[in-house]
Amino acid sequence: MRLGVSLRLLIPTLSILLGWNANHVYAVECEGRDLYTPFPFDDDKTKYRVCFSNTGDSKEYDCPDDLNFNEELRSCAAVFIPMPKCTFEGERFKNPLVDDDDCINYIECDKDLVFFTERQCNTGEHFNPLYQDCVLEAEYDCDIDIPDCSHPDFQNRKWIDKESCDSYYECVGDIIVSRTCPSGMYLDVHTQACMYNSAVNGGCQVPKPQPNYLVNVETMCQGNVGKFLPDPHYCKAYYYCVDESTPYWSPCSDGRYFENETCTKTRASSCICEDLTWGDSSPKSVNVPHPDRTKFYVCKKGVQAEEKSCPPGTTFNATKKMCSA
């Protein structure tokens, strides 16, 4: 049946109608908690809790397979990889799509500020995100945030603060000192001196990419009280608007899809990566078609689908699973 029922009828029968996986009542004080708003389960991101009464205990739920609880979305979701925004041609960022223990991979913005080109530093170099450039390994240690001044390799040198442009560390012998460059300057580790910082095309900048969420949980229920809204990030779940500011998230039961205000066995049109099966021998990523043939999606296990565009003059070939002229 359709889910257009009142919350008073919905809440007492959640575990029956939806097959929710409420393992047990967890003795956590609910006083002061926002009701019907999921919150984290300690350090276990595969679980979450919900309070249905200010005087009761929270209930514990498991996230669907390959999803983790996302506090910003108040739901279980695939991992979102923040992508930086290009502001000028040649701008460089650490490649967020690559597990890079060696700090050699980066992406570079094209002239249209739309596409990224994947690149690597030369042997003996590390990519420094603050400088947006490859620097010598002797000038930048990607594994250490604060220099170990007790080690001879770090002594009598200045080292950048990886989270700041105007501050740095100096190893005076085996003693570490925190210092700050004058206003508008940053430490150039190559010259070991504070240099004037350029706002664009060089200098030091702190990249702050943000996840590209398709829903704003703070405002999504305004004008939608009592309605069931699809979760745009996961086609097997939905939000119920308890009031203007409370979207209550829930997955459908038995692997069903949410579409047209109901949980159904019919595959939802919004599904992108949810039905892919990932085994030990599966490829790390799979390309799937996009409604726009000049684009395609990249699916990875436990990661939000990434939208990519084919180069000019090509379209996505669903059979070959790649762009083709």
User: Kindly report the CA angle at 292 between 288 and 295, in degrees rounded to 5?
Assistant: 55
pLDDT reported for residue 27: 46
Give Rg (Cα) of the chain.
25
pLDDT digits (tens, 9 = 90+) for 101-124: 889 999 998 888 877 888 999 999
Mean pLDDT of the chain: 85
Counting as low any pLDDT under 50, the low residues of the chain are: 1-9, 11-27
- What's the token pair of residue 164? 């700041």
Write down the pLDDT at residue 244.
94
Q: Give the per-residue pLDDT at 41.
A: 83
Sign of CA dihedral 9, 10, 16, 21: negative
C-alpha angle 106-110-112 in degrees, rounded to nearest 5 = 145
Mapped onto helix, strand or coil, the DSSP state of residue 144 is coil
Query: Which residues, in sequence order, are bridge partners of residue 178?
Result: 169
Q: Give the number of other CB atoms < 10 A from CB of residue 12.
A: 11
Quote the tokens at residue 180: 């700050």
Contact 292, 279 (CB under 8 A): no
- Please give the structure tokens belonging to residue 80: 């979102």
- The predicted structure's pLDDT at residue 28: 53
pLDDT of residue 200: 56
Both structure tokens of 284: 């790390």
